[in-house]
Amino acid sequence: MSEQENRKPAAGAKKPAAKKPVQRPAVRKTAPKQPEHGKLYDVLNAQPKPEEAPQTPVRNVMLRNAVTGMILTVLSCIGIWSLVQQGRNYYQQKRAEDPYQSAMTQCILPLAVMDAHSFASPDDLSDEAFLTAAIWAFITDGGLADYPSETDLCTVPAKTIIAAGNARFGTNRTPTCQTIGFTDSIRFYFDAEQKAYLLPSDPKYFGYLPDITSYTEKDGIYTVHASYRPEQPSWYPSEAPIVRETIYTLTQSGSTWQILSLDTGEPEAESTAEPAETTTATTKKATKN
């Protein structure tokens, strides 16, 4: 044996440390290589890149904004107009619900239709003006329904017409009855033999309509402010214009309203206004009689 092999370790000597095993680096596995036809498939199915949209010129943007602003302005104006119309309709509906105002309107309607002149008292009215107002009061109150006729004319006793006038003015007049009218086409004929008036059975008239704007009361006397507007179809887009402002003085006797005076803003004079237009057929029939 050799000398090194026979050499024993000395007493108290440390044993040599054991050697650590050497770690080998891990081998990274790679994916199998794709065949060449896979690349061709990817090329054929590749999505094209979207083209960038051209930038809008600043001038076009400003024009578009201007047009949009104009449209919004028009829509806003329409909305405001609709709101105003709704408010006006609501106000008119509230006024129509006033029983006094409705009765007052019906009371002054005959004088608005005939466009009567100013008077300080019913006694200042001429017989012609009184009878004209009486006939229109009889017609507008629906009195013709009590005198049915198979012709174009209704025969109404003169005393009935006079009673309608006295009820409207609170008077006790006995006027001289006569044919009322100023032209051949617009007349209410008086039949002296029958002591009756020949009135159209279906009158068609085009006159002013009163629109009461306000009224006040003191000691049973009502001061009524009314605007005259020409009659026009209900489908007309705008409200009829005001042609005259009037002031009536009214009083109430039981359930009947009576006219005491009228101020149209014009000097008091005898009425020369023509009654509202009647039908041509009515005129021809009345002329024959």
pTM passes above 0.85? no
- Cβ atoms within 10 Å of 148's Cβ, excluding its own: 8
Yes or no: say if 141 and 283 are a contact pair by the CB < 8 Å rule: no
pLDDT tens for each residue of the chain, 289 residues long: 455 555 555 555 555 555 666 566 655 655 555 555 555 555 555 556 666 655 556 667 777 777 787 887 777 667 665 655 655 565 555 555 677 888 999 999 999 988 899 999 999 999 999 999 999 999 999 999 898 887 888 999 999 999 999 999 999 999 999 998 755 556 889 999 999 999 988 877 667 889 999 999 999 999 999 999 887 776 776 778 888 999 999 999 888 999 999 999 876 555 444 444 433 333 333 333 3
Phi and psi at residue 82, in whole multiples of 5°?
A: -65, -40
How far apart CA 39 and CA 61 sit, in angstroms, is: 46
Burial class (CB in 10 A: 0-12, 13-18, 19+), 36: exposed
Q: Write down the domain spans for the chain.
A: 103-288
The one-character DSSP state at 159 is H
- Cβ atoms within 10 Å of 157's Cβ, excluding its own: 13
Q: Give the chain's end-to-end CA distance (angstroms, integer).
A: 177
Return the sign of the alpha-carbon dihedral for residues 72, 74, 80, 85: negative
How far apart CA 98 and CA 281 sit, in angstroms, is: 39
Phi and psi at residue 33, in whole multiples of 5°?
A: -70, 130
- Cβ atoms within 10 Å of 11's Cβ, excluding its own: 5
Residue with the two structure tokens 């006038």: 165
